[in-house]
Structure 1
Amino acid sequence: MEELDVVRALGALAQPLRLQIFRALVVVGEPGLTPGAIQEGLGVPAATLSFHLKELVASGLVTQERSSRNLIYRAAYARMNAVIGYLTENCCQGAACAATPTSTSAPAGCDC
């Protein structure tokens, strides 16, 4: 992952509402959420939500897919893991470290 991509991703998350949106998408997993469900859950105006979703999609941390008449937003787990990997790749100068997970298994139903 390139440094500029990491900066974009972290910049997208450096706003409280976008962080809440992203965390909600991570929690719900593969099914994703419609803007209406996100709006209802977080209590934000549609225009505000649309702006922040656009920023998250542009960062690559969130994907958008059309399903019939609905848009579905999902956390991009591979991108999220790439950012985390970039931040921890030289952790502890290569020594065993508690900051990096030792298990590569993901929770059931999770693409991360």
Structure 2
Amino acid sequence: MEINIATSSFSALSQATRLEALRLLLRHEPEGLPAGAIARRLGVPHNTMSTHLAVLARAGWVSSQRESRSIIYRASLAHMHQVLAFLISDCCAGNPSLCTPLIETLNTCASPTNQEPPP
């Protein structure tokens, strides 16, 4: 991943509503959520949510697909993987034992017993 792509990705997440939208979509993988449901759950006007989702889409964090009259948004797990790999690619100067706590944290977050229930 190039540094410019990484900084654009981080920039998209530097706003609270966009970060919360991504977190919500991550909890609803792989089925995703319609734009209206995201707006309602976050208490954001629909047109404002559309703008936030467009920013996330341009940065690669979400994808969308029209299903009937709705647009379903999904988190891009591939993009998240690329960003995380970018962040830890030089982790601990080649000393994997120093990165073990980080890897354990990521494994704990991913376990089914630690998933947040949908709101």
Instruction: Answer yes or no: same fold by TM over 0.5.
Output: yes
Q: Which runs of 5+ in 1 are unaligned?
A: none
TM-score relative to the length of structure 2: 0.82
Aligned equivalents of 2:12, 2:75: Cα separation in 1 = 13
Match of 2:103 in 1: 100
Match of 2:115 in 1: none
CA RMSD of aligned residues (A): 1.7
Match of 2:18 in 1: 18
TM-score relative to the length of structure 1: 0.87
Query: Percent same amino acid among aligned pairs?
Result: 39
Match of 1:77 in 2: 77
Matches within 5 A, 1:1-112: 1-96=1-96, 97=99, 98-100=101-103
> Where do 4+ consecutive residues of structure 1 move more than 4 Å?
none
Summarize the Cα distance change of 1:99–1:56 in structure 2 as closer, same or farther, 3 Å threshold. same
**SS state at 1:4 partner:** helix
Q: Which amino acid aligns with 1:34?
A: P
Q: Which runs of 5+ in 2 are unaligned?
A: 113-119
